[in-house]
Structure 1
Amino acid sequence: MDPFDEASQAFLAWLRRSGADISNKIELKDLRNIQAGRGVAAIDKIEEDEVLFRIPRSAILSVENSILSKEIPKATFEHLGPWLSLILAMLYEYTNEGASNWAPYFNVLPSEFNTLMFWEKDELAELQASAVVQKIGKDGADEMFTTELVPVIKEFAEVFFSGDEKAKDRAEAMKEPDNLFLMHKMGSLIMAYAFDVEPANPEKDVDEEGYASEDEDEALPKGMVPMADMLNADADRNNARLFYEEEYLTMKALKPINAGDEIFNDYGPLPRSDLLRRYGYITDNYAKYDVVEIPFPLIKEIASAAGLFLEDRLEYLDEHDVIETGYDIGASDPFTLLESLSPELIVLVETLLLPSDEFRCLKNKGKLPKPGTMTAKGAELLHKLVQARIQQYSTSVDEDINAAVDEPMTGQYNSKERRYAMAKTVRISEKNILREAEQALGQLARGGGNANGASKRQAEEQETGPGKKQRAK
């Protein structure tokens, strides 16, 4: 048997021994021919709401289920937080290899990654001014691993390397590049595959589409859910969803699935830049979620040059949670300013432009400008911001599109040519969004009046204040 298939069968056998219930209508499929690794497919007709598999909570690779949680004080994990705690537990299980309960699971998880964390400098340079480059955080992660994880491993070396007389030496070596690289691999597995594991009786608020706010998701413990992470994701063909129950996590069909069809989960509304950062690939059907970010330092620079950067207003806006590190301009079809512009960005700009007496009046009432209303002066300032953001990219969208040589999107999974092509696609999308925003804002600034075409969401926000649904993390 092919080693790839052998590992798959060993994993499924382990999962069943662990108490999982897997439908005989599905199979774990080899999709390497389409660069999709493993996937799950139907081998028989599946009805809507039919259970595809049920994974007991005890089989989740989490801090709670790791032996390490019984050997290291709870306060240590609380100090590390959900992310670093799970990396620590996964390092422990991975390092103990065959002795770990999750060894068959590790054998089907990727060992190579195409995420931005593992790109070379010249490959990252192809993303140009995309804000996603600043979100990679490799240096920051290295520092966290060195200052947070390594000291814990050294303190509990005899536990972490149980039975090894060289445990202290191995713990000291964890700060070496090879082991830091291993920590990055564990972190990348978590980023790509971990779930926010809700308690048996979840109490967090979700919107009408089932997505929680980023703050609420950050507070949840994270866990690797075997089999659930074998599903590939597709924004259009999503046909399954994971449900949290008291003792199990259950994957159910959202619609009828025909024999031979692949079964897909969904990442939620992620732009392709974040797909690339977290999962190492992009796909056209997530283009509708693409965004370009206007960084706050750029806003400060442009507003200061116009004599509009006033500290008292910023403090007031900060009190109302309007100040952010960056503000999104999203894709919309057809492009509509109030559909694409971050409501917080509109509120920020309009507040900076208010005459002093109007600002004092608004402040006394504890209110903010309405995000569904944009003045001509607001459009003019936003127009300057967008033009300045365009200039941060080293090539224009036309230059990218008309390039003599077009890199292939196909080819070896982690080839330089493929990475160049994916980076080019991301930056072209961002530049197209900026160009559409520049044209629309320029027209509004010249014509005066308020922006039209507000969606139902913006109309509601005119009454409730700024707010936007958080993208999935």
Structure 2
Amino acid sequence: MASAPKRLKVAAGSCVRGKGSADPISSFLAWCGRAGVELSPKVRLSREGAVAGYGLLAAEELERGEVLFTVPRTALLSQHTSSIGGLLQEAQESLQSQSGWVPLLLALLHEYTASNSWWQPYFSLWQDFSSLDHPMFCFQEPLEEEDEDEKSPNPPMMVPVADILNHVAKHNANLEYTPHCLQMVSTQPISKGQEIFNTYGQMANWQLLHMYGFAEPYPGNTNDTADVQMVTLRRAALRRAKSEAEQQLVREQWDFLCQLEMVGEEGAFVLGWDEVLTEEELSMTLKVLCMSAEEFQEYKEQEGWEDDSEEEESSTLSNEALSRLKAPCKKLLYDSVLLTLEAYRSDLRAEQELLDRKEAFEQLSRREQQALHVRYGQKRILHQLLQLLA
């Protein structure tokens, strides 16, 4: 079953109480006019036709590269634009945190509870406390290339209109940043009546569920991933060891990999649809754990260094490369995937049947539905890997 992706519209509302309005859209659009927010006449805000709550839809045919709306930086809700911005600036040293969200949260609390806040029409679109399904959603402006090495990211902010858009991996619009404004631009032709989707980044379903409270049904999320815990490979290697000496070799190989910082007790190998995202770590781990005692001793003496450009090139673990792994490495990875699948409470077929039975699926709570989408996508990736390794 292909259920539409959903999330609470302006998800920050899951943390604060919404304020109703007879016609919140009209009130919000009037506020946009006063705030200098410009919406293209080719788009419209609506509940009808959106996957959940409010959404942005194409009122006319749209071409690639069209500006759908423009939000001046003065209309962004942040620690700097809040009416208590000066106070937050004075107290910035005591408000420091790793995420940088504390000043924004304080600004939101103040503006939301202030009866005369300029942002009230914006808040009218937010959900209330009856819908606490997922964390708060804020935009965080990406760093410029020259700033990527700096420790602290740009502070988060709320972006009116932009935060109404839903996310899908195969999105059709993207938010662009300029010194004076933010613009939502179409990235492909969009048909009349079609919903306009933004992207929150290349996120697996478990990340979307954790951060935004929803997951994309299979096969929508092309960025989905599955994890194989690093210790699972150790476990599989120990299982195939036929003697105490071979088990001791595995332990020494694992300790060596830990020293190289290739593996760890809490780490995981990340598998995507088309390739292994932790390719260096998995390549090295498979290689070392499949060495004989003699090969491992020689490898340790070289301290893990080899002058073999051909082998370096083969470390890119695309699906094609996985299918060409040496037999011992294939077997070790295959066994590790089987162990990973055993950790799930149900198998792929049972969850496929549940997804196919619409009535049974709709009897699940929303959280159960989203968790099912996460598990199902992960299992599909793992089963695909089993086929490649068979």
Q: Same fold (TM over 0.5)?
A: yes
Partner of residue 296 from structure 1, selected from 214, 227, 230 = 230
The alignment's TM-score, normalised by the length of structure 2, stands at: 0.74
Change (3 A) 1:285 1:87: farther
Q: Where does residue 105 of structure 2 map in the other structure?
A: 87
Change (3 A) 1:345 1:100: farther
**2: distance between equivalents of 1:287 and 1:231?**
17
Change (3 A) 1:83 1:233: same
1:331 aligns with 2:273: yes
Equivalent residues in 2 for 1:49-448, closer than 5 Å = 49-72=65-88, 73-79=91-97, 81-94=99-112, 96-111=113-128, 118=133, 188-190=135-137, 194-198=138-142, 202-203=144-145, 219-236=153-170, 238-277=171-210, 278-302=212-236, 306-307=247-248, 308-309=250-251, 310-318=254-262, 325-332=267-274, 339-340=275-276, 342-343=278-279, 344-354=281-291, 355-361=296-302, 363=304, 370=312, 371-372=315-316, 374-402=325-353, 406=357, 408=359, 416-441=364-389, 443=390
Alignment root-mean-square deviation, CA: 3.6
Residue 364 of structure 1: CA displacement? 5.0
**2: distance between equivalents of 1:286 and 1:228?**
22
Residue 226 of structure 1: CA displacement? 0.6
Secondary structure class of the residue paired with 2:228: strand
Amino acid at match of 1:426: V
Secondary structure class of the residue paired with 1:62: coil
Alignment deviations for residues 231-259 of structure 1 (CA, whole Å, 9 cap, x no partner): 223333x3322111111011222234444
Amino acid at match of 2:382: L
CA contact (8 A) 1:407 1:417 kept: no
Amino acid at match of 2:377: S
The alignment's TM-score, normalised by the length of structure 1, stands at: 0.62
CA contact (8 A) 1:330 1:341 kept: yes
Higher helix share: 1
CA contact (8 A) 2:78 2:104 kept: yes
State, as a whole percentage, how many aligned pairs show the same letter.
27
Q: Where does residue 5 of structure 2 map in the other structure?
A: none
CA contact (8 A) 2:50 2:195 kept: no
Change (3 A) 1:8 1:382: same
Residue 404 of structure 1: CA displacement? 11
Residue 345 of structure 1: CA displacement? 1.9
Amino acid at match of 2:297: S
Change (3 A) 1:259 1:434: closer
Number of positions where the alignment pairs a residue of Structure 1 with one of Structure 2: 343
CA contact (8 A) 2:218 2:376 kept: no
Amino acid at match of 2:338: Q
> Please, which runs of 5 or more residues in structure 1 have no aligned partner?
119-184, 206-212, 333-338, 444-473
Change (3 A) 1:113 1:48: farther
Alignment deviations for residues 442-471 of structure 1 (CA, whole Å, 9 cap, x no partner): x3xxxxxxxxxxxxxxxxxxxxxxxxxxxx
CA contact (8 A) 2:218 2:373 kept: no
Amino acid at match of 1:82: G
Alignment deviations for residues 75-107 of structure 1 (CA, whole Å, 9 cap, x no partner): 12333532344333323332x242333222222
Amino acid at match of 1:356: Q
**2: distance between equivalents of 1:324 and 1:13?**
51
CA contact (8 A) 1:239 1:264 kept: yes
Alignment deviations for residues 407-441 of structure 1 (CA, whole Å, 9 cap, x no partner): 54875xxx744443443343233223223323433
Change (3 A) 1:91 1:433: same
**2: distance between equivalents of 1:288 and 1:113?**
32
Secondary structure class of the residue paired with 1:363: coil
Residue 12 of structure 1: CA displacement? 1.6
Alignment deviations for residues 150-200 of structure 1 (CA, whole Å, 9 cap, x no partner): xxxxxxxxxxxxxxxxxxxxxxxxxxxxxxxxxxx7xx232xxx222247x
Secondary structure class of the residue paired with 2:302: helix
